[in-house]
Structure 1
């Protein structure tokens, strides 16, 4: 692989390419996003599929909020496969946003809006707005303190519509402390899945007690077949993890 352009300062987002995929990196050798060049809408990185298993708990979200665009994998998936959903994305790093076209993120339209801004401040202005909230924001140093504080998680909970669910990617952070702060807000309405072979955990949290145990097969049937192919395994894994949890 070779980086596009000259060597970049440590922490600056840049591209790596080979014949199969394109990567967004902040430090050498660690891919933050990977896109298959012949299937740009495919969720290539495992934790992104796990995060979207949150559709098990809210199969037809009318409005989706995403904190952290990155290479746009989840925004592209939602734009392609969740045709009934409005998707709103905030990205803090202008260098990441500048790579939007390289990762084939669609232009803003009636269903997609991407803006540059502070994710914590952005979320505070969106009370009761989202059926599905995806938080996948980190930089070269990991998850910023403002996005791991109890106050931020309170704002996440407040941004959820009735019955809303969030999924958060924990990477390069003190997972135990981070989960403790989330539990102060969501209590028992929280479930964690560890990704195999990588340092990622996906945390699911939901606003209201579940009326019944979710059915992964029913949730999968509501999706187009290419989306089902990607989300079947993580949805079933989440359903199994929830089976022993309080509703």
Structure 2
């Protein structure tokens, strides 16, 4: 997580993964008290954290009946909440990119991440390099970016060039959602970097959660559905997949120019 733009991560200096839990929720940490992901122990394929649920807002911009035919990618595996939801609940072709092999092992051992298959692939790699990989360009309908290190200070990748590479990954109807959080992060600077890459009219934003996570959505092709259209779509998303989509509309709107 950084406005310190990372060009290369040392694979020999990755943080240690630790696990904690209470009676209902299991948490993933990268060697600190900062929560890097969570799972409801009795409902492992649901999304527990509010900000992670909001990263599913791309569903408001596509035909619900088309979802299973689309392709998703997560940059940063975390506790695999998004990866599992896209694969198990939405039945989508899903790829996750994670640089830390300990995170992948923890997700498979403690967070019910299924093994790789024809429709699920977890790739060990650097997101900065993957987004420049031409075979992925124009192929992703839902791209989630949640790239934070063990200090959770700011997004690890947060430059206009990085977000331009992300835009190249998307299909014409594709959306990117980004988690912006951190003690050192500048939301306005991050937002301007996203606008520079996607265009100001393609960017939407939630209000921050109570924990300080702000989710920004950017479309490859800008669209401006009415609130009634969004509400109708939100009702379907909520009924079909159990996400609190109608509540999103109270705190989600086009980003200010």
Q: Give aligned pairs, total.
A: 232
Q: Which runs of 5+ in 1 are unaligned?
A: 1-8
1:73, CA displacement in angstroms? 0.4
Alpha carbons of structure 1 residues 38 and 22: separation in structure 2 relative to 1, 3 Å: same
1:208, CA displacement in angstroms? 1.0
Structure 1 position 208 matched with structure 2 position 221 = yes
The alignment yields a C-alpha RMSD, in angstroms, of 2.4
User: Which of 140, 146, 171 is the equivalent residue of 1:130?
Assistant: 140
Separation in 2, partners of 1:14, 1:90? 20
Q: Look up the match of 1:236.
A: 249
Alpha carbons of structure 1 residues 111 and 234: separation in structure 2 relative to 1, 3 Å: farther
Q: Look up the match of 2:211.
A: 198
1:60-106 deviation digits (Å, cap 9, x = unpaired)? 341111101110001111112212x2111100112211202210011
Separation in 1, partners of 2:248, 2:173? 18
Higher RCO, Cα 8 Å, sep 6+: 2
TM-score (norm 2): 0.81
Q: Look up the match of 1:5.
A: none
TM-score (norm 1): 0.85
Q: Is residue 32–residue 150 contact of structure 2 (8 Å, CA) maintained in 1? A: no
Question: Secondary structure of 1:99's partner?
Answer: helix
1:12-63 deviation digits (Å, cap 9, x = unpaired)? 2210123222100125432221111111112111001111022101343411
Question: Secondary structure of 2:44's partner?
Answer: coil
Alpha carbons of structure 1 residues 220 and 152: separation in structure 2 relative to 1, 3 Å: same
1:204, CA displacement in angstroms? 0.4
Q: Look up the match of 1:81.
A: 89
Alpha carbons of structure 1 residues 217 and 90: separation in structure 2 relative to 1, 3 Å: same
Deviates more, 1:136-145 or 1:49-58: 136-145
Q: Is residue 166–residue 204 contact of structure 1 (8 Å, CA) maintained in 2? A: yes
User: Which of 176, 180, 201 is the equivalent residue of 2:192?
Assistant: 180
Q: Which runs of 5+ in 2 are unaligned?
A: 1-12
1:218, CA displacement in angstroms? 3.1
Question: Secondary structure of 2:253's partner?
Answer: helix
Alpha carbons of structure 1 residues 178 and 245: separation in structure 2 relative to 1, 3 Å: closer
